Amino acid sequence: MKTLLKILASASAALVTLPASHSLAQPSETELERQASQARSIERIQRDYASRTDDTASARSLARGPRIINGRPIANDAKNWEWTVSIQRRNNHSCGGALISPGYTASGKGVVWRDDDTEPVWVVTAAHCITELELNLIKRGELTAVSGDVSLARRDEFGKNRRLDSQKVIAAYLHPDYDPKTNANDIALLQLEELENPVSNRRRSIGIAQDTQQSWLYAPYTSLNVMGWGTTLEGGFLSETLQQVRVPFVEQAQCAGSYASASNMGMSAGMICAGFSSGGYDSCQGDSGGPLAYIPAPGVPSPTRSAVLAGVVSWGSGCARPNLFGVYTSALAYRGWMARTIRQAETRDTNN
Ligand code: ARG
């Protein structure tokens, strides 16, 4: 499969250069035949692939080169991804997550979610990411959160080891009403061990959606960003570099309606949707638990200047299929639960 990807990448690169070489000089008969046969072989690979995945659209997007379902890679020096973490089972990516840091108001009653670079030790993720296996790995110190770098590669281009910031998960708190059958309340918190000597200074936390932001944030067509190291096509491979894709918010009624008619999967309170009716752009397997964020665009008027966590990748029927939007756990709906859970855990820790 890896070689298939390589073949497709080089084949499509060759295809792209075709019109340019045409305009420079009339190609020879043999060159034309070579190009035609290359085009035929790409078509064949696409058909092969399509017959296996039953999805010609993703086979086509594969031919354009590997990307999160039609997203783009993020650069390390870009802004507004630094709260994204990779949750790893024994150094293998399994899910995404987002760094969060609650701060408490003087009265002790309120909570403000900080979005700064104090070393964060809490991650919000999806409850379905934390199975019996994860709970056992936590006991052995083998579940970690990797942060501060868009690349999960353990070696650099010269084959030398790279050091990644990796924090042990020391505790997991699943939402008490999480239901694996319906995916209701698909949210969990992970407490991380403090990082002794970080290699990256990029890590920071993201603020969580507040009531006062609801009217514009959770409104049809609000442009949101989802990011992760998940597969770049349905049934495809994980991505080594963090990918990001823009998806518009979709009203619950519309999303629930299309799921009700297309499958027996149901929406419940606390779930939100994002995506395009025509499909094509989405999160996918391995992106679960990762952030769906509102990110103000530079130079564009925005109700807020900093990024806001709107949701957590939860589920979908396939990936990027028409009318089957990506479903996310609403960050606003669980803001209170997150604050209470973290506060209880931290009070318990200081009393011990
Ligand atoms: N449940 C998936 C995971 O574990 C995420 C699926 C998201 N699907 C979608 N079509 N947006 O990684």
- 48-69: pLDDT as tens digits: 334 333 334 444 444 343 346 8
Q: How many CB atoms are closer than 10 A to CB 304? A: 16
Task: Please answer whether residues 145 and 190 qualify as being in contact, where contact means their C-beta atoms are separated by less than 8 angstroms.
Answer: yes
| pTM attached to this predicted model | 0.80
Q: How far is CA 180 from the centre of its chain?
A: 20
Per-residue confidence band for 107, with pLDDT thresholds at 50, 70 and 90: low
Tell me the H-state helices in the chain. 2-16, 18-24, 29-53, 56-63, 132-140, 214-217, 252-262, 335-351
Atom 11 of ligand 1, nearest CA residue: 326
Q: How close is the Cα of 314 to the center of ligand 1, in Å? A: 6
Q: What percent of the chain has pLDDT over 70?
A: 78
Side chain identity, residue 138? I
Residue identified by tokens 């309606």 is 257
Asked about 288 being catalytic, the answer comes back as: yes
- Of all atoms in ligand 1, which is nearest to the CA of residue 317? 10
β-strand partners of 66? none
What mean pLDDT comes out for the span 186-215? 94
Q: 39-78 in b/e burial notation, b at 16+ Cβ within 10 A?
A: eeebeebbeebbeebebebbbebbbeebbbbbbebbeeee
Residue type, 55: D
Tell me how far the alpha carbon of residue 183 lies from the centroid of ligand 1, in angstroms: 11
| Residue 250 token pair | 């979709």
Closest atom, ligand 1, to C-alpha of 321: 10
Residue 128 annotated to the active site: yes
State the chain's mean pLDDT as an integer. Answer: 83
Task: Identify the band that residue 348 occupies on the pLDDT scale cut at 50, 70 and 90.
Answer: confident
Q: Give the Å distance between the CA of 341 and the centre of ligand 1.
A: 25
Cα 194 to ligand 1 centroid, rounded to whole Å: 29
Could you give the CA distance from residue 223 to residue 216 in angstroms, rounded to a whole number? 10
Ligand 1 binding pocket includes 316 (Cβ within 6 Å): yes
> Which residue among 58, 86, 239, 288 is the active-site one?
288
Return all residues near 41 (Cβ < 8 A) that are at least 6 apart: 11
| pLDDT score of 9 | 39
Q: Which amino acid is at 149?
A: D
Q: 282 CB under 6 A from ligand 1?
A: yes
Question: Known catalytic residue: 22?
Answer: no
Mean pLDDT confidence for 107-126: 80
User: Which three-class secondary structure string do you get for 82-148?
Assistant: CCEEEEEECCEEEEEEEEEEEEECCCCCCEEEECCCCCCCEEEECHHHCCHHHHHHHHHCCEEEEEC
Pick from 35-39, 294-298, 313-317: least confident:
35-39
Q: Is 326 in the pocket of ligand 1 (CB under 6 A)?
A: yes
What per-residue confidence (pLDDT) applies to 211?
94
Per DSSP, the three-state class of 52 is helix
Dihedrals φ, ψ of 140, to 5°? -90, 0
Do the Cβ atoms of 246 and 74 come closer than 8 Å?
A: no
